[in-house]
Amino acid sequence: MSKPNGLNSDDSNSGIKLLDRDGSILAFNERVLDWAKRPEVPLLERLRYLCIVSSNLDEFFEVRADLHMSAFRNGDTKGIYNIKTFETVYHTARDLVAEQYSLYNAVLLPSLHKVGIKLLSHGERNLAQKKWVQDYFRREVKPLLVPVGLDPAHPFPQVANKSLNFIVQLSGKDAFGKSNDIAIVKVPRVLPRVIPLPAKVAGHGKAFVLLSSVIRAHLNDLFPGREVGQFSQFRVTRNSDLSVDEEEVENLRTALRKGLQHRQYGQALRLEVSDSCSEHLSDFLLKQFSLPKSALFRAAGPVNLVRLSQLIDLVDDPAFLFPAYQSSFPKQLKQGESIFARMQKGDVLIHQPFESFDGVLAFLKEAVEDPQVLAIKQTIYRTGSDPAMMNLLREAVRRGKEVTAVVELKARFDEEANINWAEQLESVGAQVVYGVVGLKTHAKMLLVTRREGRVLKRYGHLSTGNYNPRTAKLYTDLSYLTCDARMTADMDTLFVHLASPSRLGRMNKLWAAPFLLQNNMVQKIESVGAAAAKGLPARIVAKMNSLTDPVLIHALISAGQKGAQIDLIVRGACMLPAGIPGKTDNIRVRSIIGRFLEHSRVFFFEADTVQDIYLSSADWMSRNMTRRVELAWPVLELSLRQRLIDECLLAYLHDTRNAWTLDADGKYRRVEKQGRKPQSAQALLMQKYSPAQSKSR
């Protein structure tokens, strides 16, 4: 059962305290960890969920913890971030980490061993295995390690963010007769963290050793003539938010490149050590990183569980993984037929990953190869390392088309990849711009201009998710293809705004942030509340990743108090306390955690006889409404609206396998139905869109 999120900001009109955002983020990770606990989940997938939680916690400390740490250091006792929130957040995170290691040691490791997948510690290795590990250490590892003995000439070294290191206490004196007793061993990132033993020494099944265990067993080899006493692995997590004043720099790309060099050495926020680490050594490290004791995390195993995901890839046994799922080609499209011709008959909706992202790639490929296409414009936020879309854009330039790419250089943790893509596109002649100063461009749109007779016609793609072929297989998202003249004109208007200093022109159908998106959403919510006050049908169903914007939260609370029935499907952080008797009892919040990461944003409003459905790139967070360029667009075709209601709203409201509900006290409770077979929205959609089902239609 989740811990209370804690209470935060207060609505002065309703007197309702909102739930704490960071507590809600940590509660989300508890729900993810639940998948690692489920015995019905394939074993390696359980390990994967354990690794995902560790990755999420790393990002939480890199991005969110600095606010709490700064408040602690400043002695703040008031405000959203203060000494109390610091202690609460770190305590909750520490409990979550302890739960992870308990599950890892007591359940996952024994279960892996039982099926012949062994992670052998030094004490578990037989003589042949120890000999092989020793040879591996001396051949592959030792040449890359440079132990640093600390003395006035060798101060404590720079330790990179999330890197593996060892601290060692030595007895005796070095070659110069000095008794420097503390040494640091930095472990290069190029070394694999999980090492398979060859079959000749592995024994039955598959055997592996962790790099940390290999180094730990051979620390004496690194200090000849000295005796190794106490030692410990350690890892420090640092603030990784890049801060660049766009008003002051002449070249944002150059400034970000310089900033990336320093990201690895930002302010320390968390120290992880082995659970056996002595207090003497942990105190020494805390002092070096200027951290309080509350920032110390003791790990009952490897200090970086994220890197255990390598084991999943090394084993690669389908028996311990989810059954492979093959997305079907989008049902509204036909392979080999013109997508432009299909779009002229009506809009196209692609429900990823149940339907393949190949439909989006096919649209761009057709645009690139069509001699009648004159221009292609696209926003780029997180494309990842897959070169498919970038190769198509480069080919478009080669064929003489005008290509404009709005590249968001400040997409957190993708800055370097996006800088590289920007430089590659510029090198072949594409027009690359970086959007509006001070705002992130998070809108996902692709616009194609085609000559058809004497007129130019536009074809557009809008999406709730990124142009990333890899994550398109892992995230639920919605792609929308349209040649509606009003919507594509709005897209062109926004592209002009992003590429030039002109003001945003009048928009017909699309709502853009930071201009009117928040206001228009509030007006929709208020119209539902007004209908409820008159006793008319009034309903809101909203699906998103996060709900943390106080303006929209208070509008929902007000509408609910007027009688509107409101269902919110919020995967992650949610600050709206649902179900408070007499205050928010008309509002229900549920979270779906499944095999795929829920990422689509769908908003349904019913006020009397008017029903509207919008899709969006934006979650209901303050940053999305006021500090980003975002889009929401209406779904106008009745058949597509019904698909969205059936597949993205009703299916998730009826999910009884992977759903959690948020109680008034801020705790999440797993939905359980007695006497009936649990229903999973994602499983139903996988079945509906499987290629076998597609062929039978």
What stretches in the chain show pLDDT beneath 70?
Answer: 1-14, 152-153, 172-180, 242-263, 410-415, 674-675, 692-697
Residue 116: strand, helix, or coil: coil
pLDDT digits (tens, 9 = 90+) for 212-250: 999 999 999 999 888 899 999 999 999 987 555 444 444
User: What is the pLDDT at residue 209?
Assistant: 97
For the sheet containing 194-196, what is the strand order? 117-119, 206-210, 194-196
Q: For domain 7-320, which architecture applies?
A: 2-Layer Sandwich (3.30)
Residue 693's pLDDT is what? Answer: 54
Contact at 8 Å (CB) between 554 and 640?
Answer: no
Tokens at 557, concatenated:
């609370």
State residue 644's pLDDT score.
98
- Residue 188 pLDDT: 95
What is the structure's pLDDT at 257?
A: 55
pLDDT at position 6: 40
The confidence score (pLDDT) of residue 144 equals 96
Task: DSSP for 453-505, please give it.
Answer: TTEEEEEEEEESS-S-TTGGGTEEEEEEEE--HHHHHHHHHHHHHHHSSPPP-
What pLDDT is recorded for position 3? 38
- Three-state SS for 456? strand
Q: H-helix or E-strand containing 626? A: helix 622-626
Residues labelled as active-site residues: 442
Tell me what pLDDT residue 12 has: 44
18 with 31: CB under 8 angstroms? Answer: no
Query: Could you say which of 3.30.360.10, 3.30.870.10, 3.40.50.10490, 3.40.91.10 is the CATH number of the domain covering 339-509?
Result: 3.30.870.10
Predicted confidence at residue 410, as pLDDT, reads 65
Topology agreement, domain 339-509 and domain 513-696: yes
CA distance 79 to 39: 43
> CA-to-CA distance for 147 and 156, rounded, in angstroms?
11
Specify the 3-state DSSP secondary structure of 484: coil
Write down the pLDDT at residue 426: 87
Residue 309's pLDDT is 95
Strands of 120-226, DSSP E = 148-149, 165-171, 182-186, 194-196, 206-210
**What's the whole-model pTM score?**
0.91
Q: Quote the pLDDT of residue 128.
A: 97
pLDDT in tens, 40-80: 999 999 999 999 999 999 999 999 999 999 999 999 999 88
Q: What is the CATH number of domain 513-696?
A: 3.30.870.10
According to DSSP, the residues that pair with 168 across neighbouring strands are 183, 231
For 585-619, give one letter per residue: b (16+ CB within 10 A) or e: ebbbbbbbbbbbbbbbbbbbbbbeeeebbbbbbbb
State the sign of the Cα–Cα–Cα–Cα dihedral 300, 302, 303, 305.
negative
Beta-bridged to residue 629, according to DSSP, are: 441
Domain boundaries, the chain: 7-320, 339-509, 513-696
